[in-house]
Amino acid sequence: MSAKKEIVLSGIRPTGFVHLGNYFGAIRNWVNMQEEFDCYYCVVDWHSLTTHPNTKELKENVLRLVSELIGSGLDPEKCVLYIQSDIPEIAELYLYLNMLAYTGELEKTTTFKDKVRMQPENVNSGLLTYPVLQAADILIHRAVKVPVGKDQEQHIEMTRNFAQRFNYRYGEVFPMPYAFNYGDDLIKIMSLDGSGKMSKSENQMNTLYLADDDDLIRKKIMKAKTDSGPTTPNSVKPDYIEGLFNLMNIVSEKEVTAKFEDDFNKCSIRYGDMKKQLAEDMVKFIAPVRSRTQAIRRDEKYMKQVMEHGASKARASAIATLQLVRDAIGLKYH
């Protein structure tokens, strides 16, 4: 019998179009990991309610996201792809973990503080306990590896704290999960103007989406911020130039990137040429993902089947964990 594979879980919010930060920070790893591990990938619609209470676009966002994930290379036969709200067991585990999470630590969480700043009119307690729900997502499958981008590191650390407290109080149920990336560090993709991370709430012209058409990709990249170039050899790159090189490193041939690195170091770089090259390589990368996504999205029967299949597999795993949790706490009276 083969050894049991390690369990992987990750999630993504259905709050907008998938962008390159999502892809290179997380989804690319998800795709690779499905060959090696027991993978669960979740569209976290409950989480999206903390910031997007209006649900008019939710259904379309969820369906598009599922199709974008498959278009990016997830294979529903090789991984368990499901929607969070199809698994009520997550909500029950969230309840237990809430008793182990201190309001003080939740108030100190970076993402909570950011969101309070962004939506002062709606500081709901779901926003405060967001990391607890995320911990429930991870622990419900007793996952170990959590492929995420750099911005999620703190949430995974909090998950470990909650898991440790649970194990200490009620007995060993959860293994310790950790943030995972192939390669050394977690990834942070910068917005095209280098002003911060690429995100769903950023200016759309500074964000590349997997749904962007070829001309829009070219336009966004050609507009990306540059300057007149370095004047001393081997200078340190400004953030916005570093960001362009990072993208090039990911989508262009090694020799191509090396040539522009060399030009930069010799102060002979022409950013116009570099951006043209990057734009063409980006188009080559995004176009097939976009067309696969569109074809999948149109196939309503297949979409339904994928979501039902995912929900039933994820529920089986969730029910098994919840049984261990209830036994450990001692919730059995008859």
- Give the residue with the Cβ less far from ligand TYM, 197 or 259: 197
Report the alpha-carbon distance of residue 93 to residue 326 in Å, rounded.
Answer: 9
Task: Catalytic residue, from 5, 59, 113, 115: name it.
Answer: 115
Question: Rg of the chain over CA atoms, in angstroms?
Answer: 21
Alpha helices in 140-213 (DSSP H): 153-170
200 an active-site residue?
yes
Question: Which residue from 179, 145, 159, 186 is spatially nearest to 40, judged by alpha carbons?
Answer: 145
115 an active-site residue?
yes
- Give the residue with the Cβ less far from ligand TYM, 109 or 277: 109
3-state SS string for 22-71? HHHHHHHHHHHHCCCCEEEEEECHHHHHCCCCCCCCHHHHHHHHHHHHHH
Compute the least distance from the CB of residue 57 to ligand TYM, in Å: 15
220 an active-site residue?
no
Task: Catalytic residue, from 188, 197, 259, 313: name it.
Answer: 197
Applying CB under 6 A, the residues found at the interface with ligand TYM are: 9-13, 21-22, 25-26, 44, 47, 134, 137-138, 146, 148-152, 155, 187-189, 197-199
DSSP characters over 209-236: BTT--HHHHHHHHHHS---S--SSTTPP
- Give the residue with the Cβ less far from ligand TYM, 205 or 276: 205
Residue 146 parent element (H or E):
strand 145-147
- Give the residue with the Cβ less far from ligand TYM, 211 or 269: 211
Q: Which one-letter DSSP state was computed for residue 123?
A: -
Task: Catalytic residue, from 188, 200, 225, 276: name it.
Answer: 200
Compute the least distance from the CB of residue 96 to ligand TYM, in Å: 17
Compute the least distance from the CB of residue 30 to ligand TYM, in Å: 9
Compute the least distance from the CB of residue 71 to ligand TYM, in Å: 16
Q: Which residues are catalytic?
A: 115, 197, 200
